[in-house]
Structure 1
């Protein structure tokens, strides 16, 4: 396992994985729609080979797939989900896996999402569809299901740049959080030990925090109050029926427990929420505010 193609390479998760693989002597192809972006230039400077393209034109990557040992499949993010976007995502993922199978790729690691199997009840063609297709194929492969990204707090939809914490989730329900750097590290560990992970699905996340606990930590670190804005469920239904159903699922069922012992057996220390805030988060939130 020497040469890896990372899709979505200039996104937060893809970038973290590319850097981690390069630091550990892998050869990395980085797929990006825009090789001229600053993120792409940084990856190239670090030693990645940039590949212009996207998964919607998967046939154009056929020759590249012949050259790689491993594929890290990260699909483009969708911010307002629907039945149509779910189905398109499932189609993109399956086409990429099918090409990997045709071209003899040794191992495919697919990045899904926590509780993709539970979401299957109301999202019949989505990430769990891709997981099943991979694990039932003739390929060697594994699935990583990351928890909520700490970095997502920096998105405009959370409102921290405006002194608000806009929360769409059940406010008392604790969920797992993880940094994209830790996802990149664990992805690298999987590729280094791909035979041990073959056929496995790994729920990957760290500390449990309810939204009000996140708010308290933010206020302590920023040393100022933040307005807590709870988005009503009826508003979520208007914006995205599928996301609203996800929030209802979290409220009613919660997530299954993560096997922290298994994660620790491969990666003893994950980044804590407070550590992430101290190292990068608070500085970036302050930068968001300064740009207002």
Structure 2
């Protein structure tokens, strides 16, 4: 079911939401990690001296070549872009450096839902183009396509609104839309499984945590742990995108995010419900159902 043991893994975004869980889980397995970061102090505070540092900007091909030197596997995702024009350049740099390193496996996440059924728009096209570039690079690669991240629910303004007003406005989709969600720890477990699994190179695989829910069902589960009734009253995708764009000072990115959620609501009734991949789930540790993930969070401390 899997190839030889991992030797040294290069993890991009090691201090961030996606890379951090990958680093933690690799270290727990005794795997050597080289972490790419622009914040060495944060890296040290999170992992102490347990990881090797690599400082590399995605626009610096020479630094990327150095970061990839001597590793056999890598985990990569594109960060939220400040400059949309730079994204394909950054991806091309990473793929060139990875190709020269002769990796055994590259695992790339699209950072958002882009199933085959998704209607085409700017956001979905960009995600598909990135995935296609990775798979066409000649590197033994696997693309993971997560759904919506559960950790988005921990945004302080969302938790405050649920706690104070009993209203959940996210995600901006029809209340009857059933969705699979993805916990970042589950994504990390599946990414590590993808680093060694046989029979999946060259594939783009949809991933999610167990338990697809409607917005109303999600609000009911959140009510239990927030100590008050929560009702689901979603924003429109357009309004959500505008707020997102202002938060990141990037209105074009906000429009792309709005398009993503508009596309989700154009899917067939179960088009955002993801079936588990049998190869990856056989190798990954037990995944966390949404209800269990909700129960594990410290909701009060988020807004304290």
Q: Same fold (TM over 0.5)?
A: yes
3-state SS, counterpart of residue 24 of structure 2: helix
3-state SS, counterpart of residue 54 of structure 1: coil
Change (3 A) 1:189 1:145: same
Deviation at 1:229, TM superposition (A): 4.0
The equivalent residue for 1:153 is 153
The equivalent residue for 1:190 is 194
2:273 pairs with 1:275 = no
CA distance in 2, matches of 1:127, 1:177: 18
CA distance in 2, matches of 1:125, 1:9: 27
The equivalent residue for 2:276 is 260
The equivalent residue for 1:55 is 58
The equivalent residue for 1:8 is 13
Unpaired runs of at least 5, structure 1? none
Change (3 A) 1:91 1:174: farther
Correspondent of 2:226 among 222, 225, 228: 222
Q: If each structure's strand is expressed as a fraction of its own residues, which one has the higher value?
A: 1
Deviation at 1:132, TM superposition (A): 0.8
Correspondent of 1:232 among 233, 236, 246: 236
3-state SS, counterpart of residue 141 of structure 2: strand
Change (3 A) 1:212 1:90: farther
Kindly tell me the number of residue pairs found equivalent between the two proteins: 278
The equivalent residue for 1:36 is 41
Change (3 A) 1:256 1:152: closer
Report the more deviating stretch, 244-253 or 28-37.
244-253
Correspondent of 1:211 among 209, 212, 215: 215
Unpaired runs of at least 5, structure 2? 1-5, 244-253
Matches within 5 A, 1:131-142: 131-142=131-142
Structure 1 vs Structure 2 CA RMSD: 2.4
CA distance in 2, matches of 1:119, 1:13: 26
CA distance in 2, matches of 1:219, 1:124: 33
CA distance in 1, matches of 2:27, 2:277: 27
Correspondent of 1:97 among 95, 98, 112: 95
Residues 131-165 of structure 1: CA distance to partner in whole angstroms, max 9, x if unpaired?
A: 111211221111111122211111135x2124242
CA distance in 1, matches of 2:266, 2:260: 10
The equivalent residue for 2:258 is 244
Change (3 A) 1:174 1:91: farther
The equivalent residue for 1:77 is 80
Change (3 A) 1:237 1:272: closer
Correspondent of 2:205 among 178, 202, 206: 202
The equivalent residue for 1:171 is 175
Change (3 A) 1:154 1:171: same
Work out whether residues 146 and 205 of structure 1, in 8 Å CA contact, stay in contact via their aligned partners in 2: yes
Change (3 A) 1:70 1:63: same
CA distance in 2, matches of 1:60, 1:264: 35
Work out whether residues 115 and 256 of structure 1, in 8 Å CA contact, stay in contact via their aligned partners in 2: no
CA distance in 2, matches of 1:22, 1:238: 39
Correspondent of 2:70 among 64, 67, 75: 67
Q: If each structure's helix is expressed as a fraction of its own residues, which one has the higher value?
A: 1
Work out whether residues 178 and 271 of structure 1, in 8 Å CA contact, stay in contact via their aligned partners in 2: no
3-state SS, counterpart of residue 9 of structure 2: strand
Report the more deviating stretch, 245-254 or 257-266.
257-266
Work out whether residues 9 and 72 of structure 2, in 8 Å CA contact, stay in contact via their aligned partners in 1: yes
